[in-house]
Amino acid sequence: MTALKIYNTLAREKQVFVPIEPGKARMYVCGMTVYDYCHLGHARVMVVFDMVQRWLRASGFDVTYVRNITDIDDKIIKRAVENKESISALTQRFITAMDEDAAALGVQKPDHEPRATAYVPQMLDIIRKLERNGLAYRAADGDVNYSVRDFPGYGKLSGKSLDDLRAGERVELNTGKRDPLDFVLWKSSKESEPDEVKWESPWGKGRPGWHIECSAMSCELLGEHFDIHGGGEDLQFPHHENEIAQSEGAHKHGFVNVWMHNGFIRVDNEKMSKSLGNFFTIRDVLKKYDAEVVRFFILRAHYRSPLNYSDVHLDDAKNALTRLYTALKDVAPDDKPLDLEEAHARRFAEAMNDDFNTPIAISVLFDLANEVNKNKDAALARQLQKLAGIIGLLQRPAQEFLQAGPAQEGAMPESEIAAHIDARAAAKKARNFAEADRIRAALLEAGIVLEDKPGGVTEWRRV
């Protein structure tokens, strides 16, 4: 089998994955800031890195997967104050919603899911080290900032020079900073802020900056030097660049070997944003589409490419996934283990080992489905189901998927479908074929396809 290669953003090339500790893979992924419902961008991060950890485990690695929760942040404070509720009540409500969305999408729970508020002592420890190393200073406004120009490697992840970055529009201007590029490590408390977000520190009461949170949680749970750090493309700069500066500046050695970034979600070829009115939460989408269809839609694109969301593309994903399930409907997989040496399995592994190339891996599944349809071979059906299972697909009984529908208004309930099928059977028995055809056409209009099987059995599925 070919070795696993991963595109390393830091190196700007695919590299053979060589873990720091043989046989073990330690991965940290930036998770959600929990002040609202998760959107499609969050869905992509969750599904992509769920796929990555699944393949690492399937490849024999002992994986430790950490995905954090940011439960203290300016947006969280603002939303809690607007809602007149506590920070903890707000964040717990949206953590519960996030867990529900992730479970619906077939996302396995990470090994660790740290909340930032539980790691403030570790954050303070890193800031103290940065201060001792001459990389942190207290500004006149009370904030503790990171001195970017004193860290020689700054910009190596984004590939930009300090002068390029300084000229960039994303740099926040703050008169309390020595340099516009400097970023906050510790925010001094304001009188107007709730007591719930005020921690004691050597620099007075305050709260952590966003970037220091991930440095502290990742290093505490995975060690100061670990294998893989992932997140959305939008986090490459400044968040991940700042994590490197903090962690390497504090510990004086390498931080992460491989940096992975998934591409943006676009909606009808425009960037998804609330201002454009094309912003979709996971819950919005699941009202219209089955959750496995959404997962399949995400995995059918390469994780680094842009992903264009539209109803047309979701409908196409639904039809494609239906074809795979249909292959398993009439051919029950046998109960033997996955044959890793079988030709399709080898091609699947080669695709996944080539920077998690799920589009090619999924094309192998379609080749298998065609063989199952042609040969009615239970061994090939098993290969199809088990290979798909590695990336979290095709694990429901086929008929369950084919008859499932999202909880949308107007969907015909199963009891009503059964009554129509019974009425059609009675019409056929009475040789009233016009009525039988009318019932079939009416069901099709309602999105229900009938299939007559030998022995007078009629099966149905939703379109």
- Whether the CB-CB separation of 214 and 33 falls below 8 Å is answered with no
377 conformational bin, left if phi > 0, alpha if psi -120 to 50, beta if neither: beta
Judge whether 219 is annotated as a binding position: no
Tell me the C-alpha distance between 62 and 276, whole Å. Answer: 43
Give the closest residue to 181 by CA, choosing from 170, 193, 192, 194.
170
HSE-up (13 A, CA, CB side) for residue 413? 3
- Rounded CA separation 203/186 (Å): 8
Contacts of 312 (CB under 8 A, 6+ apart): none
Looking up tokens 């009615």 gives 376
Question: Roughly how many angstroms between the first and final C-alpha of the chain, as a whole number?
Answer: 39
| Nearest alpha-carbon partner for 330 in 457, 223, 150 | 457
Nearest to 348 by CA among 339, 358, 333: 358
Q: Does 30 carry a binding-site annotation?
A: yes
In the chain, helix, strand, coil percent, each to 5?
A: 50, 20, 35
What are the start-end ranges of the E strands in 104-174? Answer: 136-138, 144-146
Check: CB of residue 147 under 8 Å from CB of residue 154: no
3-state secondary structure of 187: strand
38 is in an annotated binding site: no
Does 214 show up as a binding residue in the annotation? yes
Contact 24, 372 (CB under 8 A): no
**Which residues belong to the annotated binding site?**
30, 214, 239, 243, 274
**Which residues belong to the annotated binding site for ATP?**
274
**Which residues belong to the annotated binding site for Zn(2+)?**
30, 214, 239, 243
